[in-house]
Chain A
Amino acid sequence: MNFRMIGYVLALVLKVEGFLMALPLLVALLYRENRAAIVYLICLAVCLVVGFIGTARKPKNITFYQKDGFITVSLAWVVLSLVGAIPFVMTGEIPRYIDAVFETVSGFTTTGASILSNVEALSHASLFWRSFSHWIGGMGVLVFILMLIPVRDGSHMFLMKAESPGPDVSKFVPKLKSTAVLLYKLYIVITVAEMVALLIARMPVFDTLCLTFGTAGTGGFAVLNSGIATYTAAQQWIITIFMIAFGVNFTFYYYLLCRNFRAALKMEEVRVYLLIVLASIAVIAVNISGIFATTAETVRQAAFQVGSIITTTGYSTTDFNLWPSLSKMILVVLMFLGPCAGSTGGGIKISRVIIIWKSARRELKNVAHPRTISKVKMDGHSLNEETVRSVQVYLCMYVILFFISVLIVSANGFSFETNVTAVAATFNNIGPGLDMAGPAANYLAFNPLSKIVLIIDMLAGRLEILPIILMFMPSTWKKRD
């Protein structure tokens, strides 16, 4: 493995994180939070110094292989989280480091699962940093770094592949760098659009920033203990719409940008995604009618929760733990589905579900007509058998990892519902699960081992399993391999 290059990229990650910490520092100065300001200044300085020393000399050999790319991405995320957790401990807001790491990983992986029972006690700087980590993690740190480093050959594609969700990551334009720039441009434009919309709807500026970062990265950290419940209906609707918008494959927006409307409308994944969203809202709205006073509120609550769960954001306007079983079950199913590939959300992803569905149908057809030869198609193009296979393998690993995690977490002695949904909510980067892990509760009560497992689940969910498993395989680190 090219350790020098991996080290170089990790130093770059630190450098970028150092610069990003300037924002919470600014917030601390604005709100005159002296202690937080000093903490963020120290962290920023250390990150920058280490980062600049590490990137002072460019490695001669910048070739990457797939393994190097995957390992780099995993390590980058680990480093990012371990360092990002330090300010929480230093300010004394989250005294235990493991909890701070849980909170930070939850931020960067856009999960939004919290160990804090009283969010409002946090300083503005820390609240901002928590939410801002969603925004960074949403599009990806490495994609950001791809805009900075010279890309000479396609080997850097592995960096993007490891970080971008979806079974078949493709570029918009031939150059990787231009693709990364385009992705971030789209990301920023939609983010700003939401901010403007929320400000027009008279949300306070600080809440607007934090909640927009949470929506854009499909994260889910709120700034109030009540979550989103106390905001006005209009503000909730804006968040709902933007949550669903950030769950759409960014290729769709790229097509819109190029005025290629036909290709945009042809995207099967986006159509299925929107269909599932609408259908779920309808069923849940009918199912929960009676809980809320008016039809408008019923629909709003249903839409908000569906948008929040399917995009794996994890905001909540109500404790859906108290909803009827059918509605809860629909939400749990949505947890696993996730939004489109190439969006900022987690979960299995709609495109994978479509591929699995179609390949299962093909197998059935093959039983009836053993001699048929057919291909799995998507958007009118035949899919590579390799892609189909990789999706199937992904699902298998997903299930295995899921059950192992549930086994370990169940040692806490909580209810069945808690264990399963806690793993589901972290593995799919959502945040709140049901029961003890529900929207009104938090993850503080889990034992440290469970927290570590859930941290790994969050990372595995964000990076789509393979890079994380690769990192834990001893053979990866053997010199001669």
Chain B
Amino acid sequence: MQIIIVGCGKVGRHLAMQLAQEGHSVTVIDTNGTVLKKVTEIYDVMGVTGNGTSIGTLKDAGLADTDLLIAVTQSDEVNILCCVMARSGNKCRTIARVRDPIYLTEQSFFLKELGISMVINPERAVAREMAALLRLPSAVEIDTFNKGRIEMLSFRVPDNSPLIGKKLRELPASISSSVLFCVAERENEVIIPDGDFITQKGDLISVITPPTTGRDFFRRIGLTVGEVRDVMIVGGGEIGYYLTKRLLKDGIKVKIVEKDRERCEELCDLVPEATILYGDGADMNLLREEHLDRMDAFVAVTNMDEENIILSLFAKDKVFSKVITKISHSELGEVIRNMDLDSVVNPMEICAETILTYARAMNNSMGSDIEALYLLREGRVEAMEFIAGEKFAGNGIPLQQLKLKKNLLIAGITRNGNFFIPRGADAINAGDSVIIVSVHKGFETLDDILER
């Protein structure tokens, strides 16, 4: 596919890399030539210097043959205008990043009246993920499938867990009946475990489960499942705002620390139930004074990754159950993995996942649509949800007779709204929602799981 990305910031760069690696022809537009040059030197993409809202620049970037335009500049308005301009020159699909809460209620207008194909709001998606983590604080990461009806929970195996030293197939039914072990990471090695996998302390494991049983499962394997009632958020930006809104709805008390006076006053109007503190989050005295040690959870969502990391490390042994760190630079991945941070949430990755899902769905014509895509473990494993189409070659054939690719797992099937973990005798039917976990990359249709 021919794809234009307008805006070469963190998200734009990340998308350029991912999309180019998936084999698309990517052209990046930015007003800053220096930034552009850097990107074209690292990734196999073409750069065009100019303003993405100008039809001339878009034409230079090959708008006529473009299938998809993604606008991810800093400004919401520029992004919207880019999409509108692109639509006027070529009836291609367009995706705009729109972050300002005032546009939140106007999404359907963008889609219907302006013809934008998708509006993404990474900040809001991040807040949703953070809220999920605060509901189940022992999880390191939570990804949802099938509109939240299935969850993929990642956790570290604690000391004294009944899992340790046992093969997966020998686990008692009380633990293993409702979950499926999908991914295990040990010392930076990622594998898809089979029945002979022996769990060890400190492994990072992901399981698939319906949300109702997740809490119960965690209790059985020895993880604490304390409820979060008080949360301190440092950084009153968009993420802080969206998260506060969600938490307040769940009846959780929120304190926001924000260092911009004006923003504090805005927040007072936006979320009057929250406690707004005017001050620098990096001021340890302020945090102590506001009883950080009596909080259940601490969330660092300032604009600075470094500040978020340091604050999280400071808060880690003070708060009761959960620390969440927002990090936007994917380049920091290696450093962070070796740090003892609790949960790390990356808005860029969430944004990239959404757009990649869309691009893959657009690219496939086989009829088994990809519904969701999660890049796990820094993109080394992909978890996907497909709706099996009529033409899927494996329809009705028991899974044990299918020739599946190696290192791939059919982790769950939802049929008529009922989720079950498939066994060898089960078969995929047309219309099923199927969850696939795989170390292979770039699956676009369900047929990609079959060996050819």
A residues sitting closer than 8 Å to B (CB atoms) are: 66, 151-158, 170-171, 173-176, 178, 381, 384, 386
Contact = CB atoms under 8 A, between A and B. Distances in A.
B51 to A, nearest CB: 13
Interface stretch (B35-43, B189-197, B322-330): B35-43
A430 B211 CA distance: 74
A158 B41 CA distance: 8
12 contacts: A153-B17, A153-B42, A153-B44, A154-B41, A154-B44, A173-B62, A174-B25, A174-B26, A174-B27, A174-B44, A175-B44, A384-B33
A66 B42 CA distance: 10
B5 to A, nearest CB: 10
Given A173-B25, A173-B62, 7 more contacts: A66-B41, A153-B21, A153-B44, A154-B45, A174-B27, A174-B44, A386-B37
A381 B41 contact: no
A156 B26 CA distance: 16
Contacts of B33: 384
A174 B42 contact: no
Interface in B30-70: 33-34, 37, 39-46, 49, 62
B24 to A, nearest CB: 8
Given A171-B46, A173-B46, A384-B33, A157 B40 contact: yes
A157 B49 contact: no
Contacts of B25: 173-175, 178
Contact of A152 (B2, B37, B44): B44
Contacts of B46: 170-171, 173-174
A476 to B, nearest CB: 20
Interface string B1-22: 0100000000000000100110
B258 to A, nearest CB: 39
Given A173-B25, A174-B26, A178-B25, A151 B49 contact: no
B117 to A, nearest CB: 21
A156 B44 contact: yes
A381 B49 contact: yes
A145 to B, nearest CB: 15
Interface of B: 2, 17, 20-21, 25-27, 33-34, 37, 39-46, 49, 62
A152 B22 CA distance: 9
A154 B40 contact: yes
Nearest to B60: A263
Contacts, number: 47
A34 B430 CA distance: 67
Contacts of A176: 44
B21 A152 contact: yes
A12 B408 CA distance: 34
Nearest to B25: A174
Contacts of A66: 41
Contacts of A158: 41
Contacts of B39: 154
B45 A174 contact: yes
B221 to A, nearest CB: 36
A171 B37 CA distance: 12
Contacts of A171: 46
A384 B25 CA distance: 25
A151 B44 CA distance: 8
A171 B40 CA distance: 10
Contacts of B40: 154, 157
A155 B45 CA distance: 11
Contact of A155 (B17, B27, B42): B42
Nearest to B21: A152
Contact of A154 (B2, B27, B34, B43): B43
Contacts of B2: 174
A384 B44 CA distance: 21
B172 to A, nearest CB: 41
Nearest to B49: A381
Q: Which residue, of A158, A170, A174, A176, has the highest number of chain B Cβ atoms within 10 A?
A: A174
A371 B2 CA distance: 44
Contact of B37 (A155, A156, A384): A384
A171 B61 CA distance: 12
A176 B46 CA distance: 9
B56 to A, nearest CB: 11
Nearest to A151: B44
Nearest to A177: B44
Nearest to A66: B41
A153 B49 contact: no
B66 to A, nearest CB: 11
Nearest to A172: B46
Contacts of B49: 381
Given A152-B21, A173-B46, A157 B41 contact: yes
Q: Which residue, of B17, B27, B45, B49, has the highest number of chain A Cβ atoms within 10 A?
A: B45
Contacts of A381: 49
Nearest to A383: B33
Contacts of A157: 40-41, 44
